[in-house]
Amino acid sequence: MSALPDALAETLTRLGARIAEAGADRGRILDVRALADRTALGEDEVRALLGGAAPVAERVDDRVRRRVRAVHEAYVARSGKRAGEVGREVARRLSISPEWARQLLLGRKMPNVPDLTELAEFFGIEEGVRFFTDPATTVLNRELGRVLAELEEDADDDGPLVEFATRHGVVTLALRGQRLTRRKQEALAVMLEGLLGIDDEEARR
C-alpha cells in the first residue's frame, strides 16, 4: 500500500499508465531536477515522493522559509541579477529595509501573509501563498497534474506533426524516443513547412 496521499498516488498511477501507452521515457517526462525547480522542493524529496516514499513531516514555518529561499535562488540564477539587486527590489516592493528583505530571501526570517502574497506576485507564482504553504505532496501533485493533462491532450489528438506528415505524404516520423509537447510540435511543423517551401521555390527556378 502506498505511503502517499491518495491524490498523489492516483496521479502517479495515471501518469505511469500514460507513459507506458506512449512508450515514452519516464525519466525524461518525470525529470526530477525540472520538477524540483518548478515546485521549490529538494531533488531528493521529489525523487523520494515519485518512488512512493512517505512525505517528511515539517513545520509550516520551516516549509515556507525553505521555499522562499529556493524560489529566490532560482530567480537569481534565471534572471542573471545579483542577489543584492533582487533584495533591494523586494525591499521596495514590500516597503521593508534591504536587510530585512535579505533575511526573508535567505529563509532566515518568516514572512507574514501580506509579505508572502507580495513575494508570490514578485516571483510570478500563479498559485500565490499556497505555493509556499501547501504540503510537499500537494505541490508536487499539482505540478504532476499539469504533466498528466499535457500527456492526455497529446493522446486525444493526432497533433501538429501527424497533420504535417499526412499533408506531405511522410510515412514515418522518428523522434528517437523524444516526447514533444503540442507547442513544440507546432513550432517544429512551422519550421518544416518553411523548409519545404524553400525547396519548392528552388525547384521552380
pLDDT (tens digit per residue) in 51-109? 999 998 899 999 999 999 999 999 999 999 999 999 999 999 999 999 999 999 999 99
Report which secondary-structure segment, H or E, holds 17.
helix 6-22
Instruction: Find where cell 545579483 sits.
Output: 82
Closest CA to 192 of 165, 171, 157: 165
The answer on pLDDT for 47 being more than 80 is yes
What pLDDT is recorded for position 82?
96
Q: Cα(19)–Cα(171) distance, rounded to whole angstroms? A: 24
What pLDDT is recorded for position 3?
79
Closest CA to 30 of 145, 185, 135, 184: 145
Residue type at position 145: G
Q: Cα(140)–Cα(145) distance, rounded to whole angstroms? A: 8
Q: Which long-range contacts (CB under 8 A, 24 or more apart) does 131-134 make?
A: 131/40, 131/67, 132/40, 132/63, 132/64, 132/67, 132/68, 132/71, 133/60, 133/63, 133/64
CATH 1.10.260 fits 60-133, yes or no: yes
Sorted by sequence, the CB contacts under 8 Å of residue 54 that are 6+ apart come out as 3, 4
If you average pLDDT over every residue of the chain, what do you get?
Answer: 85
Grid cell, residue 181, equals 509537447
What pLDDT is recorded for position 192?
73
Taking the whole predicted model, whether its pTM rises above 0.85 is answered as no
What pLDDT is recorded for position 137?
96
